[in-house]
């Protein structure tokens, strides 16, 4: 069966700014992301972005802003990403089971691409990303500056997550 890497956006693929990143001029791809995505794609993984975008519900920006940032990411990575799923709701405005830590975005992507959850990984920078992955039987790698032991699989960034946990030895 096919396999996939589910990728949170802010803090994994692009630099986390502490506020909503929706302007392309503020959207900076994290170091090592193009290389990591290329390695993962070479091993047959679908690459699927799974992102909460609550600023849409808050009226701070539009879906088109998110898609423009995604296009900038695609350009930086050679068009390698297979899909983008976003949850535009925010709990302060409207509830949604699509938002992580719920798993609807993952479930939709898994159904569309017919992937085997046992062969999939979620890479995220928040515990809610790991919770969403766990709900659908997908292993998760928590990236960022967390104390050791916060999660069973922890890495500094996507490239380390790929080479240390996801890719089999000899395929890095």
Q: What is the DSSP string of 13-81?
A: TB---SS---SGGG--BPTTHHHHHHHHHHTTEEEEEEEE-TTTTTTSS-HHHHHHHHHHHHHHTTT--
Active site residues: 8, 10
> H helices then E strands: how many in the chain?
5, 6
Distance from C-alpha of 85 to C-alpha of 89, rounded to nearest angstrom: 13
Handedness of CA 54, 144, 71, 85 (dihedral sign): negative
Cα first-last separation, the chain:
21
Distance from C-alpha of 17 to C-alpha of 14, rounded to nearest angstrom: 9
Distance from C-alpha of 54 to C-alpha of 89, rounded to nearest angstrom: 5
């Amino acid at each position: 069966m096919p396999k996939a890497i589910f990728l949170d956006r802010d803090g994994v693929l692009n630099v986390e700014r502490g506020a909503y990143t929706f302007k392309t001029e503020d959207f900076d791809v994290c170091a090592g992301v193009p290389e990591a995505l290329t390695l993962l794609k070479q091993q047959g993984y679908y690459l699927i972005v799974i992102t909460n975008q609550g600023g849409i519900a808050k009226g701070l920006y539009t879906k088109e802003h998110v898609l423009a940032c995604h296009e900038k990411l695609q350009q930086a990575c050679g068009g390698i990403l297979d899909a983008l799923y976003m949850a535009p709701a925010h709990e302060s405005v409207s509830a949604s089971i699509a938002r992580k830590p719920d798993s609807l975005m993952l479930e939709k992507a898994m159904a569309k691409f017919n992937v085997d959850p046992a062969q999939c990984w979620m890479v995220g920078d928040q515990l809610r990303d790991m919770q969403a992955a766990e709900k659908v039987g997908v292993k998760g790698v928590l990236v960022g500056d967390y104390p050791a032991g916060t999660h069973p699989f922890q890495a500094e960034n996507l490239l380390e997550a790929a080479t240390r946990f996801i890719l089999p030895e000899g395929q890095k």
